[in-house]
């Protein structure tokens, strides 16, 4: 029986992913139904067009989390369940400020999920979902939202790492 449990445990970990040690999650609280506020700055480093890029969203930023239909929650997870909260915070900020393209923002969302330990099939499925269904949210960014968002975070291109061997 223990062998069967161990096999099932490993299959589930491979299927759903394994949380990564050292991955940090944003601190936030609910402001009202469906709206959350960061309580301190949150930063991630991702790869973008051959560069490491640090994206920081400041304290006090309002976001609405991942848009996941309720009927998908048993498979995909709830909108503010880790690591959706981390990926959604960064993705929402990138959509609001539109400093990068939609394609880049969607790719970064997938990278954050992968860094957190999501299984690759789940990363691919969620990337496909935001790519296909995120156009309306991207188009809804208004000038006032862009100005607010730009003041709430930053993107920093890190210098390339050189191997001095």
Positive or negative CA dihedral for 106, 56, 148, 83? positive
Question: How far, CA to CA in Å, does 1 sit from each of 6, 11, 13, 83, 161?
Answer: 9, 15, 18, 32, 49
| Strand runs labelled E in the chain | 28-32, 35-38, 42-48, 51-57, 62-63, 153-157
Whether this model's pTM surpasses 0.85: no
Strand spans (E) along 58-112: 62-63
What pLDDT is stored for residue 4 in this prediction?
Answer: 65
Neighbouring CB atoms inside 10 A of 90's CB total 25
- Mean pLDDT of the chain, nearest integer: 82
- pLDDT of residue 29 exceeding 80: yes
Q: What is the pLDDT of residue 136?
A: 87
Residue 87 pLDDT class (50, 70, 90 cuts): very high
pLDDT digits (tens, 9 = 90+) for 108-150: 999 999 998 888 888 898 899 899 988 888 888 776 677 777 7
Break the chain down into helix, strand, coil percent, rounded to 5: 45, 20, 35
Binned at pLDDT 50, 70 and 90, residue 90 comes out as very high
- Say which DSSP state 58 is in: -
- First-last CA distance in the chain: 52
């Amino acid at each position: 029986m223990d062998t069967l449990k161990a096999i099932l445990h490993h299959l589930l970990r491979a299927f759903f992913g394994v949380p990564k040690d050292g991955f940090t999650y944003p601190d936030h609280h609910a402001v009202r139904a469906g709206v959350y506020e960061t309580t301190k700055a949150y930063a991630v480093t991702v790869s973008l067009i051959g560069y490491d890029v640090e994206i920081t969203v400041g304290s006090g930023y309002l976001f609405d989390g991942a848009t996941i239909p309720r009927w998908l929650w048993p498979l995909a997870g709830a909108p503010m369940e880790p690591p959706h909260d981390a990926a959604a915070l960064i993705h929402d900020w990138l959509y609001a400020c539109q400093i990068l393209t939609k394609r880049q923002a969607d790719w970064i969302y997938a990278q954050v999920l992968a860094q957190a330990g999501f299984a690759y099939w789940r990363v691919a499925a969620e990337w496909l979902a935001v790519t296909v269904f995120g156009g309306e949210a991207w188009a809804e960014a208004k000038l006032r939202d862009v100005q607010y968002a730009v003041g709430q975070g930053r993107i920093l291109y890190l210098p390339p790492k050189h191997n001095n061997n």
